[in-house]
Structure 1
Amino acid sequence: MSFGLPPLKVKPEPASDMKVQDGPFGIPNPFVEGLGTTKPKLGMSHPLEASERNYHLNEEKMNMTMLRNIQGLHAPLKLTMEMKFAKKIGRLPFLPSSNLQHDVITGRYLDIGFEDILNTPDLCEIAGQPHAVVERSLGLL
């Protein structure tokens, strides 16, 4: 008996469009396009890349499906509502946010990853004037 729920095993979806803008000699020009813009146009280099990109989303879907099967519809709805409210909490645009409440709800505060070590605010190269950043976010500039 199926209730129209997604399966517990998540299958990766391959990229459908693999268009590369070629230069005059049939290869992309890194001087014009840049090295960072060439890789997304090529698609995925490994089948696990799509799965790893969507790991947190797939894990959240699987957890919500299991929670719905075990406790009913109210539990995933409550967690979804709490996560939505945690994402809405904001600071001024020029202040960094740790998103601690959202990380606690999802359980990511227990994980130490690449972004925890090399994504610290003191290493950030983008620093703007507070008034200009706020005016741009409000659409005044």
Structure 2
Amino acid sequence: MSFGLPSVKVKPENVSNVKVQEGPFGVPDPFVAGMGATKPKLGQSHPLEHSEKNYHLNVDKMNLAMLRNVQGLHAPMRLQMERKFASKIGHLPFLPRSNMQMEVLTGRHVEIGFEDILNVPEFCEVSGQPHAMVERSLGLL
């Protein structure tokens, strides 16, 4: 009995043979393609890599499917609507942005991650004049 829930098993999505342009000695030439340009062409190095990249998306899908089966179609639709509105809240470009409402709706406000420690406003590299930043975001500059 599956109750309509998505599968928890990891399934590789992109299975194909990838050809990498090789240099004269049988290895990719970093001067032509660059160091970072070679890895995306190779594909995934491990079957769980794709699953780990989409971990939060998979958990959200499972939770919404379970909520649909327990409470009906209206509950996940309402949550999705609230998340959509929370993600579209505007702010002035020179002010620091916190997605606290979105984090509360998704349940990520209780987790401490990499971005919570290294993404503090004191370490922000971009700071400018407020008027110039607003004009640039409006396309006036």
Q: Shift of residue 98 of structure 1?
A: 1.4
Counterpart position of 1:107:
107
Equivalent positions of 1:1-141 (< 5 A) are: 5=4, 7-9=6-8, 11-16=10-15, 18=18, 20-23=20-23, 25-31=25-31, 33-141=33-141
Contact 2:20 2:41 in 1 (8 A): yes
Contact 1:8 1:65 in 2 (8 A): no
Q: In terms of mean alpha carbon deviation, does 39-48 or 14-23 score higher?
A: 14-23
Higher gyration radius (CA) = 2
Contact 2:44 2:50 in 1 (8 A): yes
Structure 1's 136 and 36: CA in aligned 2 closer, same or farther, altered over 3 A?
farther
Q: In terms of mean alpha carbon deviation, does 120-129 or 57-66 score higher?
A: 120-129
Unaligned runs of 5+ residues in structure 2 are none
3-state SS of 2:52 partner: helix
Structure 1's 84 and 31: CA in aligned 2 closer, same or farther, altered over 3 A?
same
Question: Following TM superposition, where does structure 1 have runs of at least 4 consecutive aligned residues deviating by more than 6 angstroms?
Answer: none
Q: Provide TM-score, normalisation by structure 2.
A: 0.79
How many aligned residue pairs are there?
140
Letter in 1 for 2:8: K
Q: Provide TM-score, normalisation by structure 1.
A: 0.79
* Identity value in percent: 66
Structure 1's 131 and 10: CA in aligned 2 closer, same or farther, altered over 3 A?
farther
Unaligned runs of 5+ residues in structure 1 are none
